[in-house]
Each structure stands twice: as structure tokens, then as C-alpha cells.
Structure 1
């Protein structure tokens, strides 16, 4: 592919990303992968270059742009090499017109930037939220010590190591043997905050594909009872093979029916030493990995998510035994889903109390703490721990 053809290919992919973002379609990662599968002529260097153009253009636009071409023109304003590639050549983009629409810059749509300010996120910290994320791994003590082909940077999390983006860790023998898991440092700290101990009964209420469940099982040394729950069958189905690879044997899976979770968890009422609520959220803390997520969010969706979070916290509280722990986590930096949500839980449950978290990273955001890309070099998270009366 010529450089101009790469730009035109990126524009075509961006059109698909924009359509998906406005209609609740597939993620940008999946769209890119699907496009390459249907365009076999693109070699490895072409795929790398086109992918970099796509995500650079996404990051360059705050509000959702009018088109993929508008997004690429926004990127061209910051990259002096790009305008010349709009040359009208075969397979290349048409020359730039005088009055063409150009995507707007910024960090996010205006209403969302206002929410960041309300949540005391300094605008000087916003660029870090859109930088490309590194690759973090968690060592798995259940599979013994791992011999890694290259050394990584130690993280705040006790079993974490960091590598440059794109490091092919899934091809390493240690990964195939279950000795390491790919997991962001912030996610590792969120699991560490549960302080799960061997022999305990622990519920991972929103387990998804099970990254935190695997970390909890390792902390419990494969002893005790760990119940991994979710309403998404496809995501939960990915946990079993991951657990087998990691040597985890204590996980019980429960697929829950939305709105009827209490029935499926009735036998656990008042029985859990700890419950982790890694709640569905806006994902504002994960823009480094999913920059197009800024375009998917609106105030109505945020209200829907905060209602779900409140319901899940109340559901989790009923599972905790007297003196037990409830850990609340969201991969969001917004107070609506973090500190405010935690305060509202305490207002609804005045006998419960929040306890300080002893973590090696994070900034207090009462009644919990917040991790951020700018200050902690992790994804953005809010983490709080409550203790039952």
C-alpha cells in the first residue's frame, strides 16, 4: 500500500468506528481487526501503519467527528506529513477542500469535560488519559516462578511487571503455562484491596471474563470458596479456560438473570467474608485503551449506569456476613460513579462504615481513593472498602 492508500484505508475504518460509536456497535479494536480480515492485501507493515493512523485520529478528536475524513483532517493539522497525502491518487484520499468539516480537538465532548472538572480532574491531567497504555502483567504464584524472556519494570502492585505496548507476552511460554496474566496495574491493585485470605468465602459479583477472580484465587492460595458471577454468558464463558490455564480450582461460576440476581444468590445471604463489586461503568478510566469510548457516552447512559451501580451495591451488601467486607470498584474517574456513589451507599446503609485503603498508589477521594493515568500511571479507578456492622 502507498502512504496515501493507508490514509484512505484509515478514513474508511474511521467511518465504521464513528457509526458504531453512535449506534452501540462493535469496539474500534474489533472493527479494525475485521477490516483487515476482509482486506487481505494489507501486509503487516500496512496493518500497523493503518491502525496507528486510526487510533491517532480518534485520540485527536474530542467530540465525535462528522466523518472519518473529518477525523483524519483533524490529525493532519498536527502532523505536517499528512496533508500532502490527500493527493487524489489511485486508492488515496481526495485533495483537501477549502471549507471541509474538520473534527474538533479537546479531550472529550464538552458536557463530559465539564463532568471531569466537577470531579476535580485537572485539565493538565487530561492528556495522560488518552496516551497509549503500556502492557502490564501479573505473576501467578499458583504456577510457581516464571522465567520471562525479557525483564519488566516493577509496578506498585506486588506481583506486577510492565512492558512496552505491543510486547507479545501471549506468545511466551510463561503465558501458555499460566504463570502470567495480562492485567493493568490499577486492576491488580483493585483486586489486592479486597485482601482476600485463604479459607474465606468471596463473591466476585461482576466477574466478567474473570481477571480479578483469578487474582483473588491466587491471593486465597486456592483455598476457600470463590463465587464468580455475571449476567453476560459470553464473557463469563471465557473464565473456565483461563482458570484451567492458571491452575485455579476454587472458582464456582454463576450466570445471573438480570433483575433476578437476589434469587440466584439467596443461599449466600449473610455468608460472604468479602464481596467485590467491579461495577459496570462509563469506562472513563480506560480511554487509553478505548479512546472511542468518549464518543459512546452521554448523560442518559451515565444515569443508567449509576442506577445499576447503586442496585449492585445494595445487592452485595445483603451477601456480606457481620463484620465482612464490601469492595466497590469502577474503572471511572467520575465522582458520579465513584465518591458520590460510595457516599450514597453509606447514606442508605448508615450502620456500615468506610475504612481506609492501604495501597501503594492512589489519591484519597473520600470515602475511597482514585487511581489516575496522570498520577499513578494506571488506568483510572475508584476503589472503596466498606465494613458490615
Structure 2
């Protein structure tokens, strides 16, 4: 592909990503993979260059552009040399007309800016994220794994964590294939640490998804106790089984819940759990480094629906906790309505609960919990709080 043809390919992909963001279609990575599967002529350098163009254009435009061409013309403001590639040659985009406007550069959509926690460093939300790993104590120790990954560095305060450069292909490495490490952002590892799960406990991961935090809890429990991974989406839970087998976490029980009738499916666990983790569905504003097009999908109405769902989940999670036990609430979001305000509302609805301090060498205290941000902590953005049910 010529450099100009790469620009045209990026425009076509951006058109597809914009449409998917508007209509609830596939994620950008999925669309990019499909695009090149149908274009075998594109070499590795072509694919890398096009992908970089696409993500550079997405990262600089907080508001969803009308077209891929608008997004790419906006990118020429940051990379002026690209403007010459709009030359109208075969397989190239038409020249940029005088006065033709590109997408405006911004980190956060205008409507969302006042809703973010005041501590958030907005410019850091769109940097490129590294590859964070958690050494799986069920298979190995950090001392055994570190020599296998000489490119990795330690993450201060997290004894089981390693960090690789952005884009490092860890899933091709035997350390991952043999279950010695799991890909897990440092912030997610801090949340698992806040659960203080221990050997012999009963622990429920209530919104387990594919089980990233479930596996961290399994390692903290040394493979002994009762660990239940629950979710309402069968396809997500199905991804946990092979991951758990690879990790040696074979004691995990999965529980598929009926959407809107979760309390019925959880009744047998009432007041049984030492720890319940609610890693709630959220806006994902803390993960924009990895999923920058998520900004184009989020709307005020969708945010309202997510906040209502978070409150509903907390309400049916609370009865599962035994007196004296913990409910850990977490979101990969930086919006106060999803974090600080959600915890305050829960405490207002439920007597006999307190938000207890979380003694971790990370984040900043914020409304009864901790706020982690890419700019301050080098991790994805998270809010989490530890709620104790009083005996």
C-alpha cells in the first residue's frame, strides 16, 4: 500500500467505527481485524501504519466526528505531513479543499467534563497504556517469572505485578500460555487487594465477566475456600473456564444469573459471604487509554441507565454479606455520580454499613473510597470503596 492508500484505508475504517459507535456495533479492534482479513494484500507494516492512523485520529477527537474524512483531516493539524497524502491519486483520498474543517481536538466530550471527578488529569486519559501483568501465585512466584520476561519492570507496591511496554505480545509467550501470568491492569490488581480475600473464605465476584478479578481473588485465596463468579451474560462466564484451567484455579464455581431476577438466584448465599465484589457496569471513562472510541459511544442517557443499574446491583448484593463482612464496590469510571455519589447513596439507603478506610499506597481518598487515575497512578482509572457490614 502507498502512504496515500493507507490514509484512505484509515478513513474507511473510521467511517465504520463511527457508525458502530452511533449504532451500538462492534468495537474498533474487531472492525480493524475484519477489515484486514478481507484485504490479505496488506502487509504487516501497512496494517500497523493504518491502525496507528486510526487510533491517533480517535484519540484526538472527543466528540464523535461525522465522517472518517473529518477525523483524518483533524489529525493533519497534529501531523501536517499527512495533508500532502490527500492527493487524489489511485486509492488515495481527494485533496483537502480550502476551508474543509477537521475534527476538533479534545480529551473529554464537552457534556461530560463537569461530571468527572475534579482530581482527574484529563490530558492523561488518552496516553497509550502499557501491558500490566499479574504473576499467578497458583503457578509461580515473581522471582521465577521475572527472568523469563527481561523487558518487564516491577510496579511499586504490587509485589505480584510486572509491566511491559505498550503492545508487547504477551499472549505469544510461554509464561502466559502456561498460566504463570495474567494480563491485568495495575488498578484492577489494587481492587483485588482491597478485597483482602484469604484462604478458606467465601467470596462472591458478582459481576465477574470473563473473570480477571476472579482469578486474582483465587490466587489470594491460595486455591482454597469458596469462590463464586456470577454474571448475567453466558458468553462472558464461558470465557472464564479456560482461563481458570490455565491458571490452575479449578475451585471456582460459576453462577449464571437471570437479568432482573438476580436476587432469586442468589438467595442461597444470603449472609454467607465474607467478601462480595461488585465490579459494576460503568461508563468505562477510566479505560479510554485502551478504548478511546468509547467516548463516542457514551451519551447522557446511557450514563443515567448505568448509574441506575449500579444502584440496583448494590442493593441485591448487600444481603449476601455476612455481619462483619465486606462489600467492595468498584468501577473503571472517573465520573463522581458512578463512584463517590453512588457510595454515599448506598449508605443513605442501608443502615448498618460504613465505608472504611483503604490502606493502600496508591490513589487518593475521595468520598469514602479511593480514586486511581492514569495521570497520578499510571494505571487505568478506577474508583473503589470498601463497605463493612457492622455486626
**What TM-score do you get using the length of structure 2 for normalisation?**
0.97
| Equivalent residue pairs, number | 385
Structure 2 residue 309 is the aligned partner of structure 1 residue 311: no
CA contact (8 A) 2:362 2:377 kept: yes
Q: Distance in 2 between matches of 1:4 and 1:165?
A: 27
Instruction: Compute the RMSD of aligned alpha carbons.
Output: 1.0
Cα drift, residue 121 of structure 1 = 3.7
Indicate the residue corresponding to 1:45 in structure 2: 45
Structure 2 residue 123 is the aligned partner of structure 1 residue 127: yes
SS state at 1:18 partner: helix
The 5 Å alignment of 1:342-353 reads 342-353=343-354
Structure 2 residue 144 is the aligned partner of structure 1 residue 144: no
The 5 Å alignment of 1:27-176 reads 27-116=27-116, 119-122=117-120, 125-145=121-141, 146=145, 147-155=147-155, 156-176=157-177
Task: Using the TM superposition, name which of 141-150 and 227-236 deviates more.
Answer: 141-150
Q: Distance in 2 between matches of 1:267 and 1:149?
A: 44
Cα drift, residue 181 of structure 1 = 0.3
Structure 2 residue 299 is the aligned partner of structure 1 residue 295: no
SS state at 1:78 partner: coil
Indicate the residue corresponding to 1:197 in structure 2: 198
Q: Distance in 2 between matches of 1:178 and 1:260?
A: 35
Q: Distance in 1 between matches of 2:222 and 2:32?
A: 39
Q: 1:161 to 1:91 in 2, by over 3 A?
A: same
SS state at 2:276 partner: strand
SS state at 2:134 partner: strand
Q: Distance in 2 between matches of 1:22 and 1:290?
A: 15
Cα drift, residue 230 of structure 1 = 0.5
Cα drift, residue 60 of structure 1 = 1.1
Q: Distance in 2 between matches of 1:366 and 1:103?
A: 36
Q: Distance in 2 between matches of 1:148 and 1:238?
A: 26
Q: Distance in 2 between matches of 1:106 and 1:14?
A: 17
For residues 296-336 of structure 1, what are the alpha-carbon distances to aligned partners after superposition, in whole Å with 9 as ceiling and x for unaligned? Answer: 11111111000110011111101000000000000001101
Q: Distance in 2 between matches of 1:78 and 1:298?
A: 27
Cα drift, residue 365 of structure 1 = 0.3
Q: 1:149 to 1:367 in 2, by over 3 A?
A: closer
Cα drift, residue 45 of structure 1 = 0.5
CA contact (8 A) 2:74 2:101 kept: no
CA contact (8 A) 1:134 1:162 kept: yes
CA contact (8 A) 2:108 2:122 kept: no
Structure 2 residue 299 is the aligned partner of structure 1 residue 330: no
Q: Distance in 2 between matches of 1:152 and 1:134?
A: 10
Indicate the residue corresponding to 2:212 in structure 1: 211
Cα drift, residue 99 of structure 1 = 3.0
For residues 218-247 of structure 1, what are the alpha-carbon distances to aligned partners after superposition, in whole Å with 9 as ceiling and x for unaligned? Answer: 000000000000011111100000000000
SS state at 2:322 partner: strand
Q: Unaligned 5+ residue runs, structure 1?
A: none
Cα drift, residue 158 of structure 1 = 2.2
Indicate the residue corresponding to 1:16 in structure 2: 16
Q: Distance in 1 between matches of 2:216 and 2:159?
A: 12
CA contact (8 A) 2:223 2:251 kept: yes
For residues 180-216 of structure 1, what are the alpha-carbon distances to aligned partners after superposition, in whole Å with 9 as ceiling and x for unaligned? Answer: 0001000111111100000000000000000000000
For residues 129-160 of structure 1, what are the alpha-carbon distances to aligned partners after superposition, in whole Å with 9 as ceiling and x for unaligned? Answer: 00110110000010023351424111132211
Q: Unaligned 5+ residue runs, structure 2?
A: none
Q: Distance in 2 between matches of 1:62 and 1:267?
A: 45
Q: Distance in 2 between matches of 1:332 and 1:110?
A: 17
Q: Distance in 2 between matches of 1:94 and 1:32?
A: 22
Task: Using the TM superposition, name which of 170-179 and 47-56 deviates more.
Answer: 170-179
Q: Distance in 2 between matches of 1:18 and 1:114?
A: 24
